[in-house]
Amino acid sequence: MAAARARLWERAAGGRLSLLQKVAVHPFQLQSASVLTYCRELPFSHLSLKPTGTIPSFTSPVPSWSHQQIRTKARGNEYQPNNRKRKRTHGWIKRISTPAGIEVILRRMLKGRKSLTH
């Protein structure tokens, strides 16, 4: 076991240990592993091999159309301000001319609203 570790690890300048090795995981996929440690006294069990890169075209074939924007029905554009319609619908003349409008005005008066209508 120690002989195998000695073959994989070589001592670099300043007491650092480094491992650069190509690992074949799949015939179409190569991963490179790179580990650097800063202490000579650490045993080899504390080091971990982390794959740093893969070839994206072979890892997950995703069609290009799946990344496009999907448009749905437009929302949030219901209010188009029009002062003439606002005054005709919610104004004083419209409110005072119907029994329900008079109730709205009285209700707002009882509540103490500063503005009774538009």
Structure tokens at 32: 């490179």
For the chain, the average pLDDT equals: 72
- Measured at the CA of 98, the angle between CA 96 and CA 102, to 5 degrees, comes to 50
Structure tokens at 115: 């503005």
Sign of CA dihedral 69, 70, 76, 79: positive
User: Would you say residue 41 has pLDDT above 80?
Assistant: no
Rounded Cα gap, residues 85 and 72, in angstroms:
30
- Look at 11-25, 65-79, 96-110 and tell me which has the smallest mean pLDDT: 11-25
Residue 13 pLDDT: 47
Question: Of 24 and 71, which is predicted with more confidence?
Answer: 71
Helix (H) or strand (E) holding 87: helix 83-90
DSSP string, 30-76: EEEEEEEES-SSS-GGG----B----HHHH----GGGGS-------S
**Range(s) for CATH 1.10.287.3980 in the chain?**
82-118
Domain formed by 82-118, architecture: Orthogonal Bundle (1.10)
- Tell me the per-residue pLDDT of 44-91, one tens digit each, with 9 for 90 and over: 555 555 555 555 555 566 667 677 888 899 999 999 999 999 999 999
